[in-house]
Amino acid sequence: MDDNNASKGQAVSMTPRLMATGGFELLYREGMTLIEEVAAYLDGDGRIDSRDLSREASFVYATESMRLTTRLMQLASWLLLHRAVREGEISQEQAMAEKAKVKFSALPSERGGPGWNELPEQMRAYVNKGDRLFERVVKFDRVERGEELLPDAGGENAVFAQMDRLKAAFGG
């Protein structure tokens, strides 16, 4: 993309800028830390906590742990591909081809229902943390792929508008 595209309100690739500003390293560390914490929880305290749940809560626990594990593995794949590109192990084109093979699962539109409030507090916290991280990565991925374009910036500099949106998406 060139500067002309930015002035027309079209998407500008932000991947190099995010990589250069350390945003990716923060996202990578946050994602990998969450993956490790959730794995340890589900294999340890979570397993113990889930033994005392009602039948409804046990079903919700099993469902949410599978969803969370699936999303986190998708995130790990995405993060590791980006890291490989950053470290020169594979090209951007190779990474895009690999990412096309893995589709992000959709987040449930609502949480709750019978048994949700009985889930261990730590499990609910991990589900919420995983959802927020997943939403940030999906947002970044859409911008990177050019699937999410800027609306008409109404005279505003489109690059700054997109930077503001990325800051909001990444908690900056």
Predicted TM-score of the model (pTM): 0.71
* pLDDT at residue number 126: 96
* pLDDT at residue number 163: 66
Residues 110 and 39: their CA atoms lie apart, in Å, by 24
pLDDT digits (tens, 9 = 90+) for 88-109: 898 888 888 888 777 787 777 7
Counting every residue, how long is the chain?
Answer: 172
Query: Is 91 within 8 Å of 105 (Cβ atoms)?
Result: no
* pLDDT at residue number 11: 42
pLDDT digits (tens, 9 = 90+) for 64-89: 999 999 999 999 999 998 889 888 89
The pLDDT of residue 1 is above 50:
no
Radius of gyration of the chain (CA): 19
The SS3 of residue 14 is coil
